[in-house]
Amino acid sequence: MKLLQATGRYYLAFSLLLFVLGGWIVYLALSYFIDIETDERLMDAKPALQFQLTEMDSLPAILVISDDVIEISPLPDLEEYEHFSDTTFWDPIEKEFEPYRKFTFHSTIKGQPYRIALSHTKLDSEALMMTSLFAVLGILLLLLLAINLFNRYLSLQLWRPFYRTIQQIRGFTFDKGEPLTPPQTRIEEFEVLNNALELMTTKVLRDYRSLKQFTENASHEIQTPLAIIRSKVELLIQREGRDEKELQAIQQIQEAASRLSKLNSSLLLLARIENRQYTDTHELSLKALIEEKLDQLEPLISAKNLSVHTRLAEVSRNMDSTLAEVLLNNLLINAIKHNLPDGQIEISLQQGQLRVRNTGTPLTGSPEGLFERFRKGAEAGPSLGLGLAIVKEICGIYGFDAGYEYKEGWHTLLISWAG
Amino acid sequence: MKILIIEDEPALASSIEQYLEQEGYLCELAYTFAEAMIKSGAHEYDCILVDLTLPGGNGLDVIRALKKEHSKAGIIIISAKHSLDDKIKGLEIGSDDYLAKPFHLSELNARIKALLRRKQFNGEQRIDFHEISVWMDKQEVKVNQEFLNLTRSEYRLLLYFLANRNRVLSKESIAEHLAGDQADMLDSLDFVYSHIKNLRKKLVQAGAEDYIQAVYGMGYKFSGQ
């Protein structure tokens, strides 16, 4: 539920309560004043009635004069009594009970004590009261409605900067590297929120950048000692007359160093891609690049005796040349590495998509995890499992889609893009 | 042959020096920008290896200074910076080659040999090894004066061996030389064996001796002894 809706509902409930309560109070007040008024009239009529009754020869039990009803009943003895009450009489014309105000008093007429009840119809005053009540309630209703609507409009206006801020938060990404800068507002609370957000995002971005920078620097610094280890090992293996155990140890050092070195350069590459450091964007012919790459990887292809079929259209994309090279390299190496001896590779390039297919045994794990880091195929040996993660990272930068499919002995990697 | 090694990491510089001295080169070392400027200005070298990040300055400025003096030395940049910009800029201002760290000493050696050969003989470039002859400019190989038909990979492999005679070449070094320095290729080293097998077969069939020795698990050695 929106805050506006919630407040709106409370307002509405409160207004309804106020409306009912107000109506009730107005009703009570009106009827109170009308009763007092009627009572005064009845009281005023008392001496005249007494006089009139004295003038009459005989007293009937009930007497109806226009809107008044007079009931007379004899009393055994006289005691002072005056009482006002509400009552109803049957109206034979309207066929309904109608409200009357009744004034009951004791009086002595011609020496005989009587209980006299003088009733006056409240029909006129009732109508007046209802009219006034509805008028008052009508005005009240209109007022409440107007206030509600106005409040709603006002809230919408007042909360606008808040929604603008929310919109900005939604659009916030680390990639752009810019802190939030919500528009200024007159409302102090929102201004405080905006300032806090601006401060927070600036700090978060700074921390993120320094972390990324650290990763990159660390990878870079690791390269030098690695280069030293590798060069020393290369010198060590030149000496003749070593026994087998020594050679085995040296070889293992070399393999470990080599692996560390590859891992490091892959991580460095990933860090740099994430840091958006490859921005040397040109229009590149993917066809030419693929042909160049195939030429470079020919030693790997011919060693496995793979046959490569290409169907390459002239397709150009705006890409950083290093990233384009890495992307194609990793795709092709993947197709070579996970291929069977004497297997096949099919590369088709057309507007909007690049498809690399290769023969191979089915995937051992789930295809979803294929593009994850440090993902390794069961058969692939000491592979790093970063090749396709890098592919995915590069695709992410250019908004390409990377998909995988295995069907009837063929692995298919499909890179597609719009336009 | 005199080579100046400009490299701020002493351990790495000494590795390079050791490997190259075994090849018969005369090596001098410079660890800082200032040292590099003094040594490169004072002496003539046949080849200068330049690291780009130096204490006190940038290796590119050393190259600029050398070019200003019309130095005839061949220049190879050795840099840990995997930056295409540096590579392009380095080649633009007149360096002859670019090798990214970490590199194999055997690869560096092959590059230096190729560079010196280019600088010295402007016409025929020929390498002889017993009954094997290679004409670099025509990319032709003859064994006992008979043409030998090699694939491109086999040809490059033979040249790499000839540049590093009597040296143990690790499988990694050969793999990188043939297919380039590409990440996550480690398990594909099998292809080295397959190309070596083919080259050896062709050489022996053409009447050459079997010069390629497998060195236990480690790699291969091309040796006439």
Interchain contact, B105 vs A296, CB within 8 Å: no
| CATH code, B114 | 3.40.50.2300
Q: Which phi and psi (to 5°) does residue A241 adopt?
A: 85, 20
For strands A281-285 and A316-320, give the pairing.
Answer: antiparallel
Q: Can you read off the two tokens belonging to residue A316?
A: 């150009």
A159-to-A56, A153, A197, A220, B94 alpha-carbon distances in Å: 80, 10, 17, 49, 64
B20: nearest CA in chain A?
A235
Q: Which phi and psi (to 5°) does residue B7 adopt?
A: -155, 125
| CATH code, B209 | 1.10.10.10
**Contact with chain A for residue B179, Cβ under 8 A:** yes
Q: Which of B67, B97, B120 is the last residue of a domain?
A: B120
Q: Which phi and psi (to 5°) does residue A208 adopt?
A: -60, -45
> How many A-B residue pairs are in contact by the CB < 8 A criterion?
140
pTM listed for this prediction:
0.69
B195: nearest CA in chain A?
A303
Residues B145 and B206 in one domain: yes
Count of domains observed in chain B: 2
Secondary-structure breakdown of chain A: helix, strand, coil percentages, each rounded to the nearest 5: 55, 20, 25
Residues B99 and B186 in one domain: no
Residues B12 and B101 in one domain: yes
Residues B146 and B215 in one domain: yes
Domain that holds residue B209: 126-222
Residues B70 and B147 in one domain: no
Q: Which phi and psi (to 5°) does residue B44 adopt?
A: -90, 130
The alpha carbon of residue B42 is apart from the nearest alpha carbon of chain A, in Å, by: 29
Residues B57 and B156 in one domain: no
Q: Which of B93, B120, B147 is the last residue of a domain?
A: B120
Q: Which of B86, B120, B154 is the last residue of a domain?
A: B120
B178: nearest CA in chain A?
A299
Nearest Cα to B219, choosing from A233, A265, A300, A264?
A233
**Contact with chain A for residue B164, Cβ under 8 A:** no
Residues B35 and B55 in one domain: yes
d(CA B7, CA A141): 90
**Contact with chain B for residue A321, Cβ under 8 A:** yes
Residues B103 and B32 in one domain: yes
Residues B82 and B136 in one domain: no
**Candidates A300, A319, A390, partner chain B, best to mutate (most B CBs within 10 A):** A300
Residues B115 and B159 in one domain: no
Tens digit of pLDDT at every position of chain A (419 positions): 777 778 778 888 888 888 888 888 988 988 888 888 888 988 888 888 888 888 887 778 888 877 788 888 888 877 888 889 888 888 888 788 888 889 998 888 888 888 888 888 887 777 888 888 888 888 888 888 888 888 888 888 888 888 888 888 888 887 777 888 888 888 888 899 999 999 999 999 999 888 888 887 888 788 888 889 999 999 998 888 888 888 889 888 988 888 888 888 888 888 888 877 788 888 999 999 999 999 988 888 988 899 999 999 999 999 998 899 999 999 998 899 888 999 999 999 999 999 999 999 888 777 777 887 776 655 445 566 788 889 999 998 898 999 998 888 899 999 999 86
Residues B100 and B6 in one domain: yes
The interface predicted TM-score of the complex, written ipTM, equals 0.88
Domains observed in chain A = 3-145 (no CATH), 191-273 (1.10.287.130), 281-416 (3.30.565.10)
Residues B151 and B193 in one domain: yes
CB interface of B with A, residues 36-95, below 8 Å: 80, 82, 84-85
From A228, A248, A254, residue closest to B12, measured CB to CB: A228
